[in-house]
Amino acid sequence: MVLAGGPDRERVVSLQSGRQIAHALHTAGYTVTTRDALPDNLAALDQAANTPDTILFPVLHGPWGEGGPLQQHLQQRGLRFVGSDATAAALCMDKHATKQTLKDAGLPTPDFQHLQPDDTLRLNPPLVLKPLAEGSSLGMAICHTPDDTHAARKPLHDRFGTLLAEAFIPGRELTVGILETPQSTRALPIIEIRSATDFYDYDAKYERNDTAYLFDLNLPQSTLSRITELALATHRITGARHLSRVDLMLEHDTAEPQILEINTTPGFTTHSLFPMAARHAGIPDARLVAGLVELAASQPAPASI
């Protein structure tokens, strides 16, 4: 059963992802239903999913569907599902908590600050402002001057509340999909993203057709290995399960990778990076989603919290 939609701001993207996953599962030979998962229809979802052979495939994006509340509900009902459990989902949705976890583990991540409306900003421009718990680059602003920062803060605080301020790292934008199998956890091919806009925002991700996705990175093997190692370490340290996508910047001046964030429910739209990387690795969509369902079916439901 594919769970898509939801109440969060990325509802439209989630519905697109859900359609692609359902189609791939049909291709793989599964009997598939799709449910619009919402906080007020969970009882009906529980009833529909309460069969021994049902595996849920949540592909909701945003704080409720991706950030722990939905996962906690599924765990309390003893339901098996694809993806991270509630603890890891909540951690990875909170960008500040994620970066603090990475920093505490000694992994490289740009300097950052948890930013309430009345807080004094200690980071100097250039910097990035982003909502604490949103995806798809919603609400993201790059601020090159103090005036930019002042102009951006109030509208973002008004719309999203708490923000994350992060040092801007000039460099190459990279992403690495992480895929678990019964035998191992592997990194999918690294993708470099070259956006025709100032940064890889919502339009560049889902609306535009002039964003370039590169697999031939022309980097030393030692650098490629370091990027892969950091992505795998991020997946492991945050407790992510089954699949994730780790975003990084390769700094121009030092050629050192810096971890930006981890996404525990990567998109599956026609533009999405995780299935794109899998296809480049020789894994078609049907085999990718079937493998994830089989993995979830082979494991007990995550413990209730």
Q: Decide the pairing of beta strands 127-131 and 141-143.
A: antiparallel
* Selected catalytic residue, list 14, 84, 137, 272: 272
Kindly state the tokens that stand for 232: 């795998």
294 catalytic residue (yes or no)? no
Rg (CA), the chain: 19
Instruction: Report how far apart, in Å, the C-alpha atoms of 154 and of each of 24, 35, 116, 162, 166 are.
Output: 43, 37, 10, 11, 17
Strands 171-180, 112-115: pairing is unpaired
Q: Which amino acid is at 150?
A: H
**Any residues with CB less than 8 A from the CB of 220 and at least 6 apart, and which?**
none
Residue 263 counted as an annotated binding residue: yes
- Which parts of the chain fold into alpha helices (H)? 11-27, 42-49, 63-66, 69-76, 86-93, 95-104, 146-160, 202-206, 221-238, 273-280, 285-297
Find out whether 261 is annotated in a ligand binding site.
yes
Q: Is 298 part of the annotated catalytic residue set?
A: no
Q: Please identify which of the residues 14, 84, 136, 244 carries the catalytic annotation.
A: 136
For the purposes of burial, counting CB atoms within 10 Å of the CB of 118, is it exposed (0-12), middle (13-18) or buried (19 or more)?
exposed
Q: Which two tokens stand for residue 216?
A: 């031939």
* Cα distances (Å, whole numbers) of residue 4 to 8, 58, 266, 304: 11, 6, 13, 22
| Catalytic residue flag (residue 84) | no
Q: Which of 10, 66, 134, 166 is catalytic?
A: 10
Q: Which stretches within 137-284 are classed as H helix?
A: 146-160, 202-206, 221-238, 273-280
Which residue ranges make up the annotated binding site? 247, 261, 263
Q: From the annotation, which residues make up the binding site for Mg(2+)?
A: 247, 261, 263
Show which residues are catalytic. 10, 136, 272
